[in-house]
Each structure stands twice: as C-alpha cells, then as structure tokens.
Amino acid sequence: MSDKKKETTENKVEAITQNSSLRLWTLLAVLIIAIAGAGYFFTKEEGASETTQASMTEAEDASEMAELEAQVEVVVATVDGEEITQADVTEFIQNVPQFQQQPIEQVYPLAIEELITGKIIDKRAAKANTEDDPEVARRMELAREGVIRTVYLENTLSEQLTDEKLRKAYDEFVALQADNRQEEVRASHILVESEEAAKDVIAKLKDGADFEKIASEMSTDKPSGANGGDLGYFTKDQMVPSFANAAFSLDEGEVTSEPVKSQFGYHVIKVVDKRMQEPPSFEDVKPFLEVQERRKVLETNLKKWREEADIQISGADEANAQVESAAE
C-alpha cells in the first residue's frame, strides 16, 4: 500500500475510533443537538422566499466550491516533503467544533500545527506497520458499527419527521405560548437633552408640526431619528420603566403631554399602534421543533424496538446485588 493510502487509512482510523468508544446515547444526543439553532422566539423578521433562498444557496455553494478548488493549490506547510494545503487546514477547522467558535486568525496556526503533528505520527506509524496491528482492525470494526447505527437512525428519523408532524408540533407550540403573549406597542420618540427643549417640541406638535420631521431634525437619538423617531414594536419589559409606563398609558395616535425623563434625556413619545405579541413564524421555530420532535420519535422507536426484541441479560441479579452491596 502506498504512503498516501496508508495516510488516508490511518487518518480515518484516528478520526473514527475516537467516536467508537462513545455510547450510543451520546452519539444520538450529538446528532440531535447539531440541528438546533438559536433565537427563535418573537424576534426574527420574515425571511426571503424559498425561491430566493434556493438561488442564494446555489450561488454560495458555487462560490465555496471555487474557493476550495483554489485552496487545494496553496501549500501552507510541508513535512518531509509531503504537502499540507490551505484546503487541508480549512477542512480540519470545519471538522473541529471548538475551532469553529473561535476567530480564524487564532485557530488557523493551531490547525496547521495539529496537521503537522498528525503527519509526523502518521509517518512513524507507517514505518512501524501499525496498519497491520490487529487493534486497528478491531477499532475499525467498532467504528464501522457505530457509523452504521448512526446513519440508520438519521435515515429513519428523516423519514418519520414529516412536515405534517412539524406543523402539528408548531400549532401545539403556539397554543402553549398563547398565555405568555404580552401586549406590544409601536412608538416613536423625540429625544432631547433638556426638559425645556422637550416642552418646546410638545408645543410645536400642538401647533401642527410634523412629528417625523422634528424627530429627524432634533432628536439626539440619531438611529431612530433617521426613521422619523420610529422604535418599532416592543413589550413593556424591553424599555426603561419611565419610558415604558408612559408609552403603554397612551392611546394609538396620542402624544405625551409632558416630557418623559430617563437616564438618556427627555422623551416626547407618540404611540403609533398597539397589539398583542405575535407568535413566531413556523420557519423561525422549525429548527427547535425538529430537535424536539426528533427526540420524541427516537424515544418512541427505541421503546418499540426493545419491546419487539428478545432481550436476555445474563447475571443481571448478581450484578445488581454487587451494585447494592457496594453502595452500602
């Protein structure tokens, strides 16, 4: 076998045997948790259409493929004349979860060092004919069994986790969240530094001045001022108490008759709309629902499969007695 093939085989052994010792439940937990996302509740805006998303995905895939092809040619290190390319480093980083959560400028040199160390060990293992060691074959078989189990579970869960099931879970989720929905207010404000300035703004508004125009010209809150003072929708607990109390006491279209003081200055507030908090969209919570439903389906499957299997555990009574004795 060539050095290249040996290297490939040994790398596979190193990668998969680390997982082979994990218990099945751990593998399943990793499989399930990997799907989860974050930040689903009451915060996201509606996304692009499915067609647009598909087009963007295709373009991104093509761009990534071109980038990877270019990286294959860039040599970043050599070990006894054997090359390590930028593509090797990128792939290594993508397969190490701890690296993915750190800045690339920090993990890139670490990844190169890991690959160099791996090459050195690979070469020494090849010289020692480690590939022919029976322990390698044993661990490869254990890893193979683990991979087969994982792939089977992935396929089974994917078949059973239908869109209809997820939609039903979504309806149940929304129903459970109904009692937790809060009132939301959409308000605009004009923020100024002094109480006198705020009173002057209120006087101008009473004389018919345009709220949005004054906000864009006078408000010290520049981001909202650029939008006519619009702050969007918010719940009472999302604003400082003085501001929230004033805003939620107003009717739609009403403006505060007195300046509202906060640590930021003096506010003149206008309520644009009031509503009950809307539930998150199906697409927003779909990743969360997939994790939840996969866990349910998995538990149901395992319970059913165990009931159908003829399971005999030898020496169970003796083992339990030993455990109880040790506990005493």
> Rounded to the nearest 10 degrees, how much is the dihedral formed by the CA atoms of 192, 196, 201, 207?
180
* Residue 130, both tokens: 């480690």
- Tracing tokens 């644009």 back to the chain, one arrives at 272
Tens digit of each residue's pLDDT (9 = 90 or more) over 237-248: 999 999 999 999
Angle at 227 between CA 223 and CA 229, to 5 degrees: 80
b/e burial code for range 84-110 (CB count within 10 A of at least 16 → b): bbbbbbbebbeeeeebeeeeeeebbeb
Residue 226 has pLDDT above 50, yes or no: yes
b/e burial code for range 202-236 (CB count within 10 A of at least 16 → b): bebbeeeeebeebbbebbebeebbeebbbbebbee
* Residue 321, both tokens: 């007695």
* Residue 41, both tokens: 């509740």
* CATH number of the structural domain 182-276: 3.10.50.40
Tens digit of each residue's pLDDT (9 = 90 or more) over 265-288: 999 999 999 999 888 899 999 999
Task: Read off the pLDDT of each residue in 193-218 and give the average, rounded to a whole number.
Answer: 96
Cβ atoms of 268 and 221 within 8 Å: the answer is: no
Tens digit of each residue's pLDDT (9 = 90 or more) over 17-64: 343 333 343 334 434 433 333 333 333 333 333 333 444 445 555 555
Cβ atoms of 104 and 115 within 8 Å: the answer is: no
Sketch the domain layout of the chain as residue ranges: 3-40+52-160, 182-276
Say how far apart CA 249 and CA 132 lie, in whole Å: 79
Tens digit of each residue's pLDDT (9 = 90 or more) over 129-138: 998 999 999 9
- Concatenating the DSSP letter of every residue in 243-303 gives HHHHHHHSPTT-B-SS-EEETTEEEEEEEEEEEEPPPPPHHHHHHHHHHHHHHHHHHHHHH
Residue 223 has pLDDT above 90, yes or no: yes
Q: How is the chain split among helix, strand and coil, in percent rounded to 5?
A: 65, 10, 25
